[in-house]
Every structure is written in C-alpha cells, then in structure tokens.
Amino acid sequence: MNTIPSSIEAEESLIGAMLQNPSAIAIAQSKVRPSDFYSERNRLMYESILSMADRSIGINAETALRYLKENNLFDTISQNDEAYLLRIIDGTTFPQNAKYYAEIISEKSILRDLIYATQNIQKIAYDAGEEDAKEIADQAEKLVFEVTQRRLDNDFSTIKDLIIEVIKTIEIRAKNAKSNDSITGVPSGFRELDKITHGFQPSDLIILAARPSVGKTSFALNVIENIMSNTQSMNFGIGLFSLEMSKMQIVERMLASKARISLSDVRSGNINKGDWPILGKTFEQLSKPNLLIDDSSQLTIMELRGKARQMKYKFAELRKTSKSESDLNIIIVDYLQLLHASAGTRRGGTREQEVAEISRGLKALAKELNVPVIALAQLSRAIENRQGEKPRLSDLRESGSIEQDADIVMFLHRPTKSNKDDLPIEDDKSDIEIVISKHRNGSISDGIPLTFISSQTRFTNKNNDNYRAS
C-alpha cells in the first residue's frame, strides 16, 4: 500500500541540527516553511526554535526544553514519548548536513502538495456540472503550476551581499546613463520610448491601441525584431499570440521588415537577385529558438494563460536539452478584443464584463509569470468624430477595466492623416506618434515621433530609419 510522502527522520535530524548549530537555523529558514513538516509535533518544535531565534534566545537543548514548558507546548510535543526527545536532543545528526535535511523535507512537501492538488482537481472535475471543461483544465493547470513553482530556491541574502549587488547595479546604470542607455526591462528598440519606460518591466500589462491599419501588428513585430537583434536582449524568450494572422503571415512580415524588402515582393515571390543574400542573412538572424508563436483563434483568456505557462515550460526544456539560455521574458497578444471570456461570463454577462475578465486575466498572467505582457487593442470609432485629435483613454473600447488594469496605455497616432478611414497609408513613408496616456510608474508623453515605412511594415526611430527603397 502506498504511503504519503514524508521523511520523519529528516525532520528530526534538521531540528537536531538547529539545536546544535545556529547556522543550521538560517539554512532551515531559507528552505523550509513550517507547513512543510509532515509530523505535527516536528512542526511545533520547528516553530518554537524559530520563535526563540526571533526573540534572540540562545538555542540549545536545555533552553529549548525550558521554552516548551514555559509556553505549555512540552506535553503536546513530547506526547509522553521520551524516546522522541532523546532522538532530537542526543541524536547523532550533523549540523553541516542541515541543507540536505531541509531539501528532503521540502521535496516531500512538494510531493504531498501535488497529491492534494490532484485530489482537488478530481473533485473539481467530478463537481463540474455544466461548467466549461476548458475552465476546469485551466484551474487544474494553475494548481499544479503553483506547486511546481515552489521548486525554485528561496535562499536568504545578507544585507552585505544585497548592498554589494545594489552598488553594482547602480554602477551599471551610471555607465548606461552616460551612453544614454538606461534600460532595466525588455527594450523596445525605439529610443525615445525606452527613455520613458526604461524597457518593458516585469509584471506590467502594456496596452498598445490604435484604429485599424495604423500599424499595431507591425509595431509589435518590430519590437520582437528589435529584442532579438539587441545584444542586451537577444537571448530573451518571447511568446507571441496572434489571434488574427497566421504564423506564415507573421514570419513573412518579419522577414520583409528585417530585410528592408517590400512585403508585396515577398508575398509575390518577385525578389530581386540582389535581395536573396539579404533574405538569407535575415533568415539566419531570425532563426533562433527564443520566439514561440501561437496562432490559435477563438482563444479564451484561460486558454491563453494555460498556453503561456506551457511556453515557460518549453523554454525550461530547451535550456536542459540545448545551448539555449532563454527564459520567457515577454508576451505579446494580438489582439485583446479577439480574446473570449469564460463560458459562464459569455452566457450571462455583458461585453463590458467579458472585457473586464480578459484584462484582469492578462494582468494576472503578467504577475504570475513575472513578465511584461503587451496586449494590442482596437480603438472605438469615437475618435473618427475628432479628426486630427490625439487618442485618449476613453477611446479604448470598453475602456474602464482596460484602463484600470493596465500599467501603461499607449496609442499609435497618425498626426498628418485623418483617422476616419480604415484604408492603408498611401505614402510609403509617413509620420506616426506614440502617445503614452497612462504610465503607472513613470511619466507620460504627448507624442514620440516615429517613421513608418508601409511597404516594409516597418517602424523606425525618427530621422534614423535606414530606409531602403524597394
């Protein structure tokens, strides 16, 4: 018969080590929570030692016994079992093995949590009723993910070590400041935007909004190209969810933009002889294992979150089986209004409630995976009645929840063109502005100038576009 995963010997050995050596207490605190103990009396004994340490009470067998009696814990812990106390106090444990004991306790606790999670999953599945099976699958995946995340080490750091690390970071920032490079997050590759954001920051939800055909998708793909080309971020893992365009269309656009070749020529196959070597070089530059693309349509927010977790797992697997150094560093969603809420919300809720669930889900995903999430969004037609005016937060479709959940809201605005049409830009080169209307942790901007080359679907920094005529 299978028994619940546990190691009473490791628990008692760790407590014995803590009674013999103060350094074992620091090691134990960094790796083991009281709830990780399977034995209730071992948990109480562990908590008592931590409490003594917190009160600066000298810890040894004698002071520990006195503390237990003074706090009416002696009978509960000893349970008239003198052998238990003798094993703890007089055991032949080795304090230097405290880390080993702690790791055993932590691992057994994770296994038990997995068992409890699977039992909970079974209960949810049996009690599902009319709930959407995909919702149940998302809950199950989240329960397992929460357990597996605990495998990450949580070693404590001394203030001395932290100060040294902070000083090094400040020195790097000072050096970057002199070279006008103060990027601390994921760089967009657009100079003025990065000056304001310092790069897209972990756990932030960034909304990029515009009317159709202004260039939202092109901008997002250019950000991906820039991340992959920047020496600081070239190994960053990128997850792209394209709900509107196919994977082939995405890659065609990226090739045309990166190679500075007309997208029309790429799609028609009308490639000049001199452009083939450029395409070959571009193919090599983009052929990296750090971009994962999902072009599933009709995704719910829960399905997207599940796929995002799978992307993180995928990068972890790649690190084990190849020379890849990538982790999931940024997620891009094209676009928000094509996502769906849960079946229950769709059945009984309004569109505003659906969008609220989606925006909350995207923000929760950013926090859960600790990565920036860029979500593209459509503007309402209200802006068409204000020709020439810049977009504002109220122009976001179902804007209330999006505005509330987002850390950054930025718009693409064509200052010299009417926003009334949904037609593509006629001129090959045109001016586009990035308007930052909300920035939770920084400043906003009335307009960051960019140049858009429509034939190549490429945004460039103003006056530095390296434009290649087709």
Q: What CATH number does residue 51 fall under?
A: 1.10.860.10
Average the pLDDT over each of 8-22, 215-229, 380-394, 440-454 and give the range with the smallest value. 380-394
Does 145 share its domain with 225?
no
Out of 131, 244, 325, 403, which one is annotated catalytic?
Answer: 244
Does 110 share its domain with 250?
no
Instruction: Give the CA distances from residue 215 to residues 253, 256, 369, 451, in Å, rounded to whole numbers and listed in that order.
Output: 12, 15, 28, 11
Q: What is the pLDDT of residues 298-335, one digit of tens each?
A: 788 877 887 888 888 788 777 777 766 778 999 999 88
Does 221 share its domain with 281?
yes
Judge whether residue 83 has pLDDT over 80. Answer: no
| Contact present, 361 and 406 (Cβ < 8 Å) | no
Relative orientation angle of helices 22-31 and 8-20, to the nearest 10 degrees: 140
Determine whether 317 is an active site residue.
Answer: no
Instruction: Give the CA distances from residue 180 to residues 176, 201, 451, in Å, rounded to whole numbers and listed in that order.
Output: 6, 18, 21
Does 405 share its domain with 278?
yes
470 pLDDT band, cuts 50/70/90, is very low
The identity of residue 160, as a single letter, is K
Total domains present in the chain = 2
Q: Is residue 176 part of a domain?
A: no
The enclosing domain of 396 has a CATH number of 3.40.50.300
Residue with the larger pLDDT of the pair 227 and 287: 227
Does 109 share its domain with 237?
no
End-to-end CA distance of the chain: give it in Å, rounded: 73
Give dist(CA 424, CA 217) in Å, integer: 13
Give dist(CA 258, CA 456) in Å, integer: 8
Does 191 share its domain with 147?
no
Average the pLDDT over each of 110-124, 179-193, 249-263, 454-468 and give the range with the smallest value. 454-468
The last residue of a domain, from among 135, 151, 167: 151
Q: Is residue 307 part of a domain?
A: yes
Q: Is residue 467 part of a domain?
A: no
Give dist(CA 30, CA 294) in Å, integer: 38
Task: Report the predicted TM-score, pTM, of the whole model to 2 decimal places.
Answer: 0.62
405-419 average pLDDT score: 77
Does 134 share its domain with 198?
no
Does 241 share its domain with 380?
yes
Short-list 274, 278, 264, 245, CA closest to 455? 264
204-222 average pLDDT score: 88
Q: Is residue 315 part of a domain?
A: yes
The identity of residue 150, as a single letter, is R
Does 452 share its domain with 355?
yes
Q: Number of helices (H) and strands (E) in the chain: give both, helices first.
A: 18, 9
> What's the gap between Cα 355 and its chain centre?
21
Q: What percentage of the chain reaches a pLDDT higher than 90?
A: 10
DSSP H or E run through 49: helix 40-54
pLDDT at 469: 35
Does 311 share its domain with 431?
yes
Q: Is residue 156 part of a domain?
A: no
Average the pLDDT over each of 93-97, 176-180, 284-288, 327-331 and give the range with the smallest value. 176-180
What is the extent of the structural domain holding 90? 8-151
The conformation of residue 313, written as its DSSP 8-state character, comes to: H
Does 219 share its domain with 70?
no
Q: Find the Cα–Cα–Cα–Cα dihedral 461, 463, 466, 470, rounded to 10°.
A: 100
Q: Under the phi-then-psi rule, with left for phi > 0, alpha for psi from -120 to 50, and beta for the rest, what region is 199?
A: left
Q: Is residue 343 part of a domain?
A: yes
- Return the bridge partners of 448, or none: 434
pLDDT at 289: 66
- 3-class secondary structure, 431: strand
Q: Is residue 178 part of a domain?
A: no
Q: Is residue 181 part of a domain?
A: no
Give dist(CA 5, CA 447) in Å, integer: 59
Does 128 share its domain with 191?
no
96-105 average pLDDT score: 84
